[in-house]
Amino acid sequence: MIDNIFFDIGIIMVVGTAFAYLARLLKQPIITGYVLAGLILGPFLQIITNQSIIVTLSEMGIAFLLFIVGLEIDLRKLKEVGMVSTIGGLTKSLILFSLGYVVVIFAGFRDMSAIYLGLILAFSSTMVVIKVLSDKRELDTLHARIIIGFLIIEDILAIFAMIVLANLDGFSFTLLFEAIWKTAFLFVIARGANKYIFPGLFKFAAKSSELLFLTAVAVTFTFSLLFSELGFSISIGAFVAGISLANLPYVYEIVGKVKSMRDFFSTIFFVSLGMSIVSISKSHIIITVILLLIIWLLKPLIVMFITAFFGYNKRPAFLTAISLAQISEFSLIIVTQGLVLGHISQEVFSIAAIIAVVTMSSTSYFIKYEYSIYSFFKDFLRKFDGFTNGIKHLEYQDKKLAYDVLLVGYDRIGYSIVKKLHILKKHLIVVDYNPEIIKKLIGKNIHCLYGDISDEEILERIDLKGLSMAVSTSPDKRDNKLLIKKVKAVNKKAMLFVTASQVEDALELYDAGADYVIVPHLLGGDHVSLLIEQFGNDIDKLIAHKLGHIEELRDRQSLGHDRPTHQNERHIHH
């Protein structure tokens, strides 16, 4: 048996790696390669037959992914998206469940099948979305925080759905309240451990790299087992474990140690996803296609309406919507439970598996090309700006005081720029599509304008002729090219500083007329080299500089500048 397990895992890793290489050579998302490897090993060649061990290992992959998600999430950053996450997430899930249920009933399925297929539409994949956003280093962007908020609410709803379905015959509100109290109890334990146990425990463990890793893994398994014993998913237990460790000073070391385990198990998860597909009848192909269209078309539209309704600009609303156009790994867990309980047939399970494979694979493409897709549909998306009328004209412009500097994006870089411009007694106007940032700038009487710099209407409201300088911290190449074009057309003397995340983009922006292109990771290296040259071996000077840096960081933190703003969504420092 051990030989068989080792053989199965070995084959999965070898074939999965080969297809990952192929995907990378063809410049395709790696997840697609994993799924194709699963299709080859499972339905096509039937090399892997031991499904139970593969399912177990893939569940561990989900658990370790959610553990790292918990580690990297600062729940304080979700406060500003709390309303859209809770109310919006509940509304979205309810609408999609109802829509799926009605469609499936009209297709001739019985009630239980309709309930399960409706539920799979209601939830999106934490596993896939977080992995792709993490690979793109976008976990700290505005749309990522909205997405994570949605996903947390959906995962909680999925847990309660599993509890209800598992006890369908004997369900009562008493059982539901019992589940709520269990959840609250477990979070109290996590909070207590975070405050009183983990700081001392990990302070000692951090003395040994090996012990630090083992302690983190032990905490993950402890919470997973505890949640499992109380009737919850091990994945949620791992997620709570991550949150409970998130504010420790050793969090980055823990993430670095555990990421390799996450990648190993998540590879098995995606390959096993491709292996889970079995053939379905022609009559069920139609309903599968209909459900896919709902996920790809109606689900993003619903998410966009909800996100825009809560006042967010069309860009973060669109990026949030397109990132959630898939079903969840919890959907697969739910239908697996339904199959075991006899609530659904093997064909209904296969429909869910096919939808999971197709939508999870397509998500990799959607997120990879999200900015290109956004640019293509930008004119159509203007209709969603009508929902933001309450803040669309959120701005401050004192006509008595002219400005001569334009700053696009008040992020980490923007904060330093504003500070220096104040010292130089320059007057500026800031454009950003984070309403919270604009409100803070209004409070400081800084010229500001809520909007997207890619919107020509916004540029028309700015006195480009009077600018002596324009600075864009957004690494979006299209936005920067538009800014360069518009400014140079009316003001050839203005100095243009723009940002690029890639060297190739920087060279292209120079060709477009930029006076200087900021490449943040290169500037970071240059800054460190200057510090080394400045201080040499003088530890006293370095300590003095360090104390000043700490004071500045605390100042930024107190003012809420410890995260990127939303104009600069594609560049994230870790």
The pLDDT score that the predictor gives to residue 153 is: 83
How does the average pLDDT of the chain come out, rounded? 79
Residue 447 region, left (φ>0) first, then alpha (ψ -120 to 50), else beta?
beta
Q: Are residues 62 and 127 in contact, defined by beta-carbon separation less than 8 angstroms?
A: yes
Q: What's the CA gap between 126 and 136, in Å, rounded? A: 15
- Tell me the pLDDT band of 566, cut-offs 50, 70 and 90: very low
pLDDT tens digits, 63-121: 777 787 677 666 665 566 677 888 888 999 999 999 999 999 998 888 788 999 999 99
Q: What are φ and ψ of residue 499, in 5° steps?
A: -120, 145
Which of 177-186, 320-329, 352-361, 508-517 shows the lowest mean pLDDT across its residues?
Answer: 177-186
The pLDDT score that the predictor gives to residue 77 is: 57
Which of 31-45, 403-417, 439-453, 552-566 shows the lowest mean pLDDT across its residues?
Answer: 552-566
For residues 397-423, give the mean pLDDT: 77
For residues 282-305, give the mean pLDDT: 90
Higher pLDDT, 176 or 238: 238
Task: Give 431's strand partners.
Answer: 408, 449
- Whether pLDDT at 562 is above 70: no
Residue 432: count of CB within 10 angstroms of its CB: 28
Q: With CA atoms as reference, report the closest residue to 165 among 339, 295, 346, 327.
A: 339
Long-range contacts made by residues 294-301, C-beta under 8 angstroms, separation at least 24? 294/96, 294/99, 294/100, 294/103, 294/121, 295/121, 295/325, 295/326, 295/327, 295/355, 295/359, 296/325, 296/359, 296/362, 298/96, 298/99, 299/96, 299/121, 299/324, 299/325, 300/324, 300/325
Please give the model's pTM, rounded to 2 decimal places: 0.67
The pLDDT score that the predictor gives to residue 172 is: 59
Q: With CA atoms as reference, report the closest residue to 274 among 526, 520, 34.
A: 34
Higher pLDDT, 233 or 408: 408
Q: Are residues 294 and 303 in contact, defined by beta-carbon separation less than 8 angstroms?
A: no
Residue 60: count of CB within 10 angstroms of its CB: 23
Higher pLDDT, 507 or 28: 507
The pLDDT score that the predictor gives to residue 571 is: 34
Q: What are φ and ψ of residue 263, in 5° steps?
A: -65, -40
- Whether pLDDT at 490 is above 70: yes
Higher pLDDT, 523 or 324: 324
For residues 333-362, give the mean pLDDT: 82
Higher pLDDT, 251 or 293: 293
For residues 142-163, give the mean pLDDT: 80
The pLDDT score that the predictor gives to residue 484 is: 92
For the chain, give the longest Cα–Cα distance. 81
- Tell me the pLDDT band of 558, cut-offs 50, 70 and 90: low
For residues 491-520, give the mean pLDDT: 88
- Whether pLDDT at 530 is above 60: yes
- Tell me the pLDDT band of 388, cut-offs 50, 70 and 90: low
Sorted by sequence, the CB contacts under 8 Å of residue 541 that are 6+ apart come out as: 534, 535
Percentage above 70 pLDDT, the chain = 84
Q: Are residues 370 and 322 in contact, defined by beta-carbon separation less than 8 angstroms?
A: yes
The pLDDT score that the predictor gives to residue 557 is: 56
- Whether pLDDT at 437 is above 50: yes
For the record, the structure tokens of 464 come out as 């480009």
Residue 377: count of CB within 10 angstroms of its CB: 12
Sorted by sequence, the CB contacts under 8 Å of residue 1 that are 6+ apart come out as: none
The pLDDT score that the predictor gives to residue 189 is: 84
Q: Are residues 30 and 20 in contact, defined by beta-carbon separation less than 8 angstroms?
A: yes
The number of angstroms, rounded, from the C-alpha of 132 to the middle of its chain's C-alpha atoms is 8
Higher pLDDT, 100 or 27: 100
What the chain holds in terms of domains, given with CATH numbers, is 2-385 (1.20.1530.20), 393-558 (3.40.50.720)
DSSP character for 429?
E
* Three-state DSSP state, 50: coil
398 to 227, 402, 429, 456, 502: CA distances (angstroms): 56, 8, 10, 22, 37
- Tell me the pLDDT band of 155, cut-offs 50, 70 and 90: confident
Max mean pLDDT range (89-103, 340-354, 431-445, 488-502): 89-103
Residue 400: count of CB within 10 angstroms of its CB: 4
For the record, the structure tokens of 152 come out as 């947390």
For residues 517-542, give the mean pLDDT: 76
For residues 115-131, give the mean pLDDT: 86
Which of 147-156, 169-178, 560-569 shows the lowest mean pLDDT across its residues?
Answer: 560-569
Percentage above 90 pLDDT, the chain = 12
- Whether pLDDT at 291 is above 90: yes
The pLDDT score that the predictor gives to residue 18 is: 92
- Whether pLDDT at 471 is above 80: yes
The pLDDT score that the predictor gives to residue 99 is: 93
For the record, the structure tokens of 314 come out as 């069309």
pLDDT tens digits, 178-201: 767 777 777 788 888 888 888 888
